[in-house]
Every structure is written in C-alpha cells, then in structure tokens.
Amino acid sequence: MLGAFRSSLPIPIANALSKVPSRIITPQNLNTWKHRGRSLWDSIYRPFETKLLDKLADSHPDLPVHIINNNYTPLFSDPSENHTGVRVGRVLTSLVAIACLRAQTGVGPQVTSHIFGLRKAIEDGTWKAPEVMPEEGVRWLAEDEGNAWILRTVDNIVEAIGENQGTTFAPGIKAKL
C-alpha cells in the first residue's frame, strides 16, 4: 500500500519526503526508545495501563512484551525531538489508531480505548508536542461531537471504498459502536 500511495503522489511532494530512516534502534538509544514507547502506552491507557498489560499477559506472557517493544516503541512513538524526521505526535497517532481500528470492524473495545486515549492526550497535555494544531480543534476532536465525527468520517470512507459492502476484514458487517 505504501508503495502504491507513494507512486501516486505528485513528483514534487514525493521528492520532498525524507529518505533518511528515523526509527533505527541502537544499543545507545534503546532505553530512550523503550521509555517513549511505554510512555505512549501509559498515556493512552491510563489508569488501566498495568492492568491491561497483565490481562494481555494472561493470553500469552510475550504478548505485552511484543506490543510495547515492537509496536508502541518503534512504530507508534515518535523519534527523538532532535531527529530531523517527521514527528506524527500524540493526537495524530490516536486518530490513525481510531481510523484503522474502526475501518477494520469487530474491535469495538480497542476503538473505545483509543477514543479515550485521545481524550487523555488533552488531560495530560501530551497533545501539545510536536503538533502545531489549534487547541480549540484538538479539544473538539476529543469531545463527544468530535469523536462522533471521526467515527462517521471513517464509516463514510469505508462505505465509499467498499461500495457499502462492509470492510475486507468483515464483509457485510457494519460497525455498531
């Protein structure tokens, strides 16, 4: 998908994209990366962050290790502030998670967790960096009206792309959340 997306970009935009990787983990930066990944997890799932990890470990002891070390650390958390790569930030990370999970369908609890995670970004102030977003808009996204808008927008995109047939994950099934 990324290859198709990139090839569809106008040449000036594609040429302006970074060609330097921003998520290389080395022995020297491993602990910093792990801290960022766990901090992001905690910010999203607070006050249930440890309880949720314990519940995941009940399924398999390596599941929370995998989720934190292979998803939240290198994929979802931003590179260091002094890195020249693009930083997505807390709000856009939550929006992408909500959109992907909502489009998938069948994972209502995860969608709900990430909606609450978006709200917590306002409460704990993590929304402020590195985004350059107007506070009024961010606060609106984190309220009921903004949350409903996010879900409706994703549903509308899924309907348009899927010709009202549901998603490829669950054909014929409409989201109920």
Query: Does the predicted TM-score (pTM) go above 0.75?
Result: no
- Angstrom CA distances, 22 to 79, 80, 139, stand at 6, 9, 29
Q: What's the pLDDT band for 20 if we cut at 50, 70, 90? A: confident
Give the pLDDT of residue 81: 66
Task: Indicate whether 18 pLDDT > 90.
Answer: no
What is the per-residue pLDDT across 144-174, written as a single tens digit (0 to 9) for each?
A: 999 999 999 999 988 888 776 655 555 555 5
Which has more pLDDT, 127 or 30?
30
User: Taking residues 36-41, what's their average pLDDT?
Assistant: 92
Give me the chain's average pLDDT, please: 85
Task: Indicate whether 85 pLDDT > 70.
Answer: no
What is the per-residue pLDDT across 130-150, written as a single tens digit (0 to 9) for each?
A: 556 788 888 999 999 999 999
The whole-angstrom separation of Cα 40 and Cα 43 is: 5
Task: Indicate whether 2 pLDDT > 80.
Answer: no
User: Taking residues 104-129, what's their average pLDDT?
Assistant: 87
Task: Indicate whether 41 pLDDT > 60.
Answer: yes
**Backbone φ and ψ of 176, nearest 5°:** -110, -10
User: Taking residues 25-50, what's their average pLDDT?
Assistant: 91
The whole-angstrom separation of Cα 49 and Cα 46 is: 5
